[in-house]
Amino acid sequence: MRKSKKEAAATREKILKTASHEFRKNGIVATGLADLMHEAGLTRGGFYKHFESKDQLVAEATALALDSVIAQMKATGSEAEGGISTVLENYLSEKHRDNRQDGCALSAIGSEFARSDFHTREVATNGFLRMVEILEAQLKGASKTDARNRALFSVSAMIGAVTMSRVITNRELSRKVLQVAKDSLGPKIVLR
């Protein structure tokens, strides 16, 4: 039985959302299409009705995941909500560390992006640059070049700190990595 365009779009969206969570939770390579489709409550055979390849799905799921974290950064990064300190507090939190399936794709599976196709790397790059722009916009007292450089460093450090906090087996050291990153980035990024 053929699905309507609306039903097909809803199924495609369900696959994308499931992939976005599963890739961040388990990794791109470790997430097979059969497992992914099963998790979405669908059969593997239906995958190719919605996507040409796993690479296409990875790129689109990455964009969806990054859109989510960027929307959160924009909402919490407004001066009314606390600006950069709130962005740092949320991103460099134990909650973010412990819930990679719902967090930033760059800190969850960034190393896998380095081995992904060009389109996926381009999506990841654009997401990274959007995150940089959010921080950069908050640095009103700095020159344009200085603001850009501080934001580039800060986003890179944030991603690295969350990534390492997930790798480290000692929970206290993991917490310490997040706290040191917050303490170090907070004053340094907003210096005027």
Task: Give the mean model confidence (pLDDT) for residues 91-99.
Answer: 96
Task: Calculate mean pLDDT across residues 147-159.
Answer: 96
Q: Across the chain, what does the average pLDDT equal? A: 91
Report whether pLDDT(83) > 90. Answer: no
* pLDDT of 76 strictly over 60: yes
Phi, psi at 42, each rounded to 5°: -130, 170
Q: Which residue has the tokens 């908050």?
A: 138
Q: What is the pTM of this model?
A: 0.90
Q: Comparing C-alpha atoms, which of 77, 84, 89, 76 is closest to residue 192?
A: 84
- Which pLDDT does position 192 carry in this prediction? 41
Check whether 111 has a pLDDT greater than 50: yes
Query: How many Å separate Cα 122 from the centre of its chain?
Result: 14
Domains, the chain, with CATH or none: 54-190 (1.10.357.10)
